[in-house]
Structure 1
Amino acid sequence: MTPLTCPPKPSPGDRVAVLSPSSGLPGLFPLPYELGLKRLREEYGLEPVEYPATRRMGSTPRERAADIHAAFADPEIKAVFASIGGDDQITVVPLLDRELIRAHPKPFFGWSDNTNLLAFLHESGIVAFHGASVMVELGRPGAMHPQTAESLRAALFTSGAYELRPAERWNDVNRDWADPATFDAEPETRPGGGWTWVNADRVVEGRTWGGCLEIVGRMLMAGRGVARDLSAYEGGVLFLETSEELPSGEEVFRTLRNMGERGLLGRFPALLMGRAKTWSFERPNAPGEAAAYAAEQREAVLRAMRVYAPDALVVFDVDLGHTDPQLVIPYGGVVRVDGPARRVTVTY
């Protein structure tokens, strides 16, 4: 695998690209999108630059690939943000010019379906950032969550160690983006409960790989995003999280089992498992149902880890995925998981 390098950081006043590599949802839901752009300008001092497919639903994979190429090739663009995720970015990645992107490395921020692009950049030797989409985190109703805002600021503008902290309160219940009243107040939250540690008698420090579990499974089926030589992941830190599709515990177990059978799961001596999203518009779980779903997922993860990586250090309920707040994880960057001290430190 190509050695990993960190692209230069932007500075306040710089221009940054805002793309829709997966779905043109900014065209359907302008309220959170415009709010996210406003916060990029006013809270981070950055000037967002849109591309032809950013607000267009139904754009072709080739059109979205062209936007990615244009953003990375433009010397005035200092970072790249995904507007949101989607479900077909796997069709965009084969169209990307790896050498063009490798010649113009830039920080990329995205998650969910953007796991495809994060893994592509990782294969290309570029450290990227899992988190901070324009519509979701920057476009959060009322205000950005303070932990999200602080994590993003550190990832954008600083280098060095940054300690992640468990959320004291969190949320995973969404409101209607088409309703202006949604944006009048911050989401209601509930107590966080801290992280849960397994095999916490050791310290693991290594480079990260992973992302949204459903997308990782699909990449594996397509034969993409994973190095042929699995020794590239030896000693690393795996991080995973699940989406609003609310995969069953059995589906989570089977995906991890497949990773284990491939010889991938056992390469990582540590796993950061994101807090499970337990609510969606299609499945608006009541609190008891949500707790049962999260418990089922945790047991599914442990069942797979007991077989394929029984000694791995595992941390559950890290705020790194589809729940709020969301901490930015450097994709391919160094993370230190200190079990005895119960601390997780990333390097931005």
Structure 2
Amino acid sequence: MTPSALPVYPPKPAPGDRLAIVSPSSGLPGVLPLPYELGLDRLRKEYGLEPVEYPATRKMGATPQERADDLHAAFADPTVKAVMASIGGDDQITVLPLLDRELLRANPKPFFGWSDNTNLLLALRNLGMVTYHGASVMCELGRPGALHPLTADSIRAALFTHGPYEIRPADRFRDTDKDWSDPATFTAEPEMRPAGGWTWHGPRKVAEGRTWGGNLETLAQLLMADREIERDPAAYEGDVLFLETSEELPAAEKVFRILRSMGERGLLARFSALLMGRPKTWSFDRPNSPGEKESYAAGQREAVLRALDAYAPQMLAVLDVDLGHTDPQVVIPYGGEVRVDGYEQRITVTY
């Protein structure tokens, strides 16, 4: 499973190229077409790309084999220059054993997705590809109102450019949602609230390395199933860890226990820095009040820092970074290079 070399950046698409749209996790485009169609329209009009769909893209309940077949078709098609997930889900781990890894390795392409797509991002990293954590069709591109400028610029840079890109903290953010089946949801700009900036923790230093991580709950599943994770923690020496939690709002103690397990495995101490995404604090199942949101976010921050203090006290960490289940969202290169400057408090990724 160990990659033969460091991940490399596949060739980028250009405006006018074909972009595969796949649903490796959930076929929600078939159930909730409004944000999906809006996202496709923006890919065409804002980015000049031509979306290409596959048999399972809009199929809710597609089998793992059907989803793997779509991935193989997308990567093998020489006219398709990049691949993007429609949305996440919760069972992409069942697709991993069905992947034709030699086909994927022989046809490297930029892949965009996040949340449950951490499964595929990690598998592709292990095959030697730099991919992109962020920018799904239904969430970021199908955002109500308009594309957020911070998100839109990050997606454009990740899609089309090579080289360093400095990410900056958002002034305001959103973590509440409205009904995607209601057309009125998409006619108004979402309600935003003050972001409060990033929180820096740990020694003042500069950390540079390749990124590894993604959605914390998905990584926990992979660790339990012993999938895609290097047996020797030294494989991650000097890498930069980035993590985010989902709309399932895992309890602070659960977050701590997952990180504790990573610490006991010897993983946490190997990373040179941590970028922790701003936590989602509201869901339809848990419509938290403003006070409950703040309490939940504070509890998660405390859990993360408690784990670092126990297992990686010399790690430089940045909390509340605009990655993962938040709006706006910046794209993080998965397996790509990142520089975390604790002196100037700046983060620069390489797309």
By the TM > 0.5 criterion, same fold? yes
Tell me, yes or no, if the aligned pair for 2:208 and 2:272 is still in contact at 8 Å: no
> Using the alignment, how far apart are the partners of 1:269 and 1:52 within structure 2?
42
CA distance in 1 between partners of 2:12 and 2:342 (Å): 30
Offset at residue 269 of structure 1 (A): 1.6
Match in the other structure for 2:104: 101
Which residue of structure 1 aligns with residue 212 of structure 2? 209
1:72 pairs with 2:75:
yes
Aligned counterparts, 1:164-203, within 5 A: 164-203=167-206
Note if 1:8 corresponds to 2:11.
yes
Residue-by-residue CA offset, 1:10-39 (whole Å, 9 max, x unaligned): 000000100000000000000000000000
The answer as to 2:28 corresponding to 1:41 is: no
How far did residue 230 of structure 1 move?
2.0
Matched, 1:17 2:20: yes
| Residues 14 and 78 in structure 1, CA contact (< 8 A), matched pair in contact too | yes
The corresponding residue for 1:218 is 221
Query: For the residues of structure 1 that align with 2:225 and 2:328, how far apart are their CA atoms?
Result: 31
Question: In angstroms, what is the RMSD of aligned CA positions?
Answer: 0.6
8 A Cα contact 1:123 1:227, kept in partner: no
Give the whole-Å Cα distance in 2 for the aligned partners of 1:10 and 1:268: 31
The answer for the alignment partner of 2:254 in structure 1 is 251
Structure 2 CA distance for aligned equivalents of residues 219 and 84 of structure 1: 19
Q: Secondary structure at the match of 1:43?
A: helix
Answer whether contact 1:239 1:272 (CA < 8 A) is retained.
yes
Could you tell me which residue of structure 2 aligns to residue 269 of structure 1? 272
Are 1:137 and 2:175 an aligned pair? no
Cα distance between partner residues in 2 of 1:228 and 1:251: 23
Counterpart secondary structure, 1:10: coil
Quote how far apart the aligned CAs of 1:199 are: 1.5
Secondary structure of the 2:14 match is coil
Q: Which residue of the other structure, out of 128, 133, 140, is the alignment partner of 2:131?
A: 128
Counterpart secondary structure, 2:213: strand
Q: TM-score scaled to structure 1, two decimals?
A: 0.99
Matches of 1:186 and 1:81, distance apart in 2: 25
| Matched residue, 1:160 | 163
**Structure 1 ranges of 4+ moved more than 4 A:** none
The CA distance in 2 between the partners of 1:172 and 1:45, in whole Å, is 29
Distance in 2 (CA, whole Å) between partners of 1:135 and 1:171 is 16
CA–CA separation in structure 2 for the residues paired with 1:118 and 1:140: 23
State the distance in 2 between where 1:180 and 1:75 align: 37
Task: Return the letter of the residue paired with 2:206.
Answer: V
Structure 2: where are the runs of 5+ without partners?
A: none
TM-score (structure 2 length as normaliser): 0.98
Q: State the partner residue of 2:325.
A: 322
Aligned-pair CA distance for 1:229: 2.6
- The one-letter code sitting in structure 1 at the alignment partner of 2:219 is V
Shift of 1:226: 1.0
Q: Partner of 1:87: helix, strand, or coil? A: coil
* Percent of aligned pairs with the same amino acid: 72
- Contact persistence 2:269–2:311 (CA under 8 A): yes
| Equivalent-residue separation in structure 2 for 1:323 and 1:160 (angstroms) | 25
Q: 1:117 aligned to 2:120?
A: yes
Task: Name the SS of the counterpart of 2:61 in structure 1.
Answer: coil
Aligned partner (choices 45, 52, 62) of residue 65 of structure 2 = 62
Moved more, 304-313 or 225-234: 225-234
Q: How many residues end up aligned between the 2 structures?
A: 348
Letter aligned with residue 124 of structure 1? L
The structural deviation recorded for 1:74 is 0.3
Partner deviation per Cα, 1:191-215 (whole Å, 9 max, x = no partner): 1111000124100000000000000
2:20 and 2:74 in contact (8 A); partners too? yes
Q: Is 2:234–2:270's contact at 8 Å kept on the other side of the alignment?
A: yes
2:115 & 2:202 partners in 1: Cα distance? 28
Unaligned ranges ≥5, structure 1 = none
The one-letter amino acid paired with 1:255 is I
Q: Is the Cα contact below 8 Å between 2:274 and 2:317 reproduced in 1?
A: yes
Deviations 1:208-258 (A, max 9, x none): 000000001011001112122322210010000000000000000000000
Letter in 1 for 2:130: V
Paired with 1:225 and 1:136, the residues of 2 have a C-alpha distance of: 26
Amino acid at match of 1:224: R
Q: Which amino acid aligns with 1:114?
A: N
Opposite residue 8 of structure 2, the aligned amino acid is T
- In 2, distance between residues paired with 1:347 and 1:200? 23
